[in-house]
Amino acid sequence: MSDSATPPARDRTHWLYLAVIVAVIAGVVVGKLAPGFGKSVGELGTIFVNLIKMMITPVIFCTIVLGIGSVRAAAKVGRVGGLAIGYFLIMSTVALGIGLLVGNLLHPGSGLNVAAHAKEVTKYATDAKAAGGTWQFFEDIVPTTLLSSLTSGKVLQALFVALLAGFAIQAMGAAGEPILRGVASIQKLVFRILTMILWLAPIGAFGAMANVVARTGLDAVKQLALLMVAFYLTCVLFIFGVLGLLLRLVAGTSIFKLVRYLAREYLLIFATSSSESALPRLIAKMEHVGVDRTTVGVVVPTGYSFNLDGTAIYLTMATLFVADAMGKPLAWHEQLGLLLFMIVASKGAAGVTGAGLATLAGGLQSHRPELLDGVGLIVGIDRFMSEARALTNFSGNAVATLLVGTWTDTIDPARVRAVLDREIPFDERAMVDDDHPGPHDKDLVPA
């Protein structure tokens, strides 16, 4: 084994993630024993997530420009994108079907009274309306100006402009090489800044957990324990059953090793209840594991808007829960029509705060308005369920990257095995690899 594969003597980030665990526990205790103080520190979690979101656009832009700009054949990028979108649509349908199956088997909302919570749903119906429809979603992909795509915070706008820039540099040939070297230097700077921000994770985790426990209490969790347990078990079944089987059959890789490799990202998502907090690290780790930069740059950002497996499961189960709780269960044809609409609508609400509840409320308002009041019942536990949603969405995108890389032959299987077996450690300090070639060096523009 080469010296480059030797792990560093001291990995200080190990203490960072231990501190996150302590902070989560402390947040639960403080939220329960001192709810007033717990509510007052809630903004700490919001600030930390906002800091991470601040870095998402430059990470995506640099990754895609470098990936596409250094590849000779534009058709290769189109093939990756086409396969990714097709896979996302199929997996959304599978996730929807699993949620329907579990919801119809358990009927967790039967016998509940939702009258006391009816007024709480107004905000989410308003949010869903503000999110716009499907056409608004596509219209928002095109930014107002070239530079606004880098400042708006909208992932798909950054993806769109980065694709344009990457193909333009690709067309420039040798004249574009200085630009690529400049973007590579900027990428290293961006990941260094991200590493600095991640040291604030314990503070953000403490504030987020203290706030949610202070506001909802533990009684809200106990009251709807069946729905929560069913949802979590369904997500686990989807990750280790459906995704795990696909990963083994297609890429020959163990889902358990992949989950272990991404353990710190799972902890970060659990602490912040946001899969976006781990997006930059997922890009870095998928490149490190051996997937071509081009494939990672296309699949991961697109998946964060289109591949929302956890959200799909949530929408199906929550809809059936509300209908049962209101004493107005849905017929099969109503379930399919309403929930297919919600899967499409969830793409348009991807950037809206409380997107899960907003999409749920918007779908019920459009198809079965008499059920809208029932959404208020799950407001109290939505924050806890959003963690499972985020973890499942994240897992789906990690698996999708490996699968698309395998289908397009843009992955190094030997490196995947070595990284997942801990033979080649991930550099937590730099988060950028300079020392390993991609599986298709012949496709790269020579320096």
How confident is the model over 181-204, as pLDDT tens digits?
A: 898 888 788 878 877 887 887 888
Q: What parts of the chain have a pLDDT lower than 70?
A: 1-14, 17, 67, 70-76, 108-137, 153, 155, 216-225, 339, 341-359, 361-363, 365-367, 372-384, 429-447
- Predicted confidence at residue 386, as pLDDT, reads 76
- Burial pattern 338-371, b for ≥16 Cβ within 10 A else e, equals bbebbbebbbbbbbbebbbbbbbbbbbbbbbeeb
**Cβ atoms of residues 315 and 339 within 8 Å:** yes
Angle between helices 74-106 and 293-306 (to 10 degrees): 40
**23, 205 Cβ separation under 8 angstroms:** yes
- Cβ contact 374:323 at 8 Å: yes
Give CA 163 to chain center in angstroms.
Answer: 21
pLDDT digits (tens, 9 = 90+) for 40-92: 887 887 787 778 778 777 877 887 787 677 665 556 677 887 888 889 888 88
Phi, psi dihedrals of residue 401, rounded to the nearest 5°: -65, -45
Is residue 240 exposed (0-12), middle (13-18) or buried (19+ Cβ within 10 Å)?
middle
Question: Per DSSP, what are the bridge partners of residue 174?
Answer: none
Instruction: Identify the pLDDT of residue 226.
Output: 72
- What is the rounded CA–CA span in Å between residue 277 and residue 268? 7
* R_g of the chain computed on alpha carbons: 22
Check: CB of residue 205 under 8 Å from CB of residue 112: no
For 140, half-sphere exposure in the C-beta direction (CA atoms, 13 angstrom radius) is: 20
DSSP symbols for 152-219: S--HHHHHHHHHHHHHHHHHHGGGGHHHHHHHHHHHHHHHHHHHHHHTTHHHHHHHHHHHHHHHHTTH
DSSP assignment of 271-326, as one string? Answer: HHT-GGGGHHHHHHHHHHHTB-HHHHHHHHHHHHHH--HHHHHHHHHHHHHHHHHT
Give the global pTM: 0.67
Contact indicator for 17, 244 with CB cutoff of 8 Å: no
Per-residue CA distances from 425 to 201, 251, 278, 291 (Å): 22, 21, 18, 15
Mean pLDDT, rounded, of the chain: 76
Residue recorded with tokens 């490996």: 402
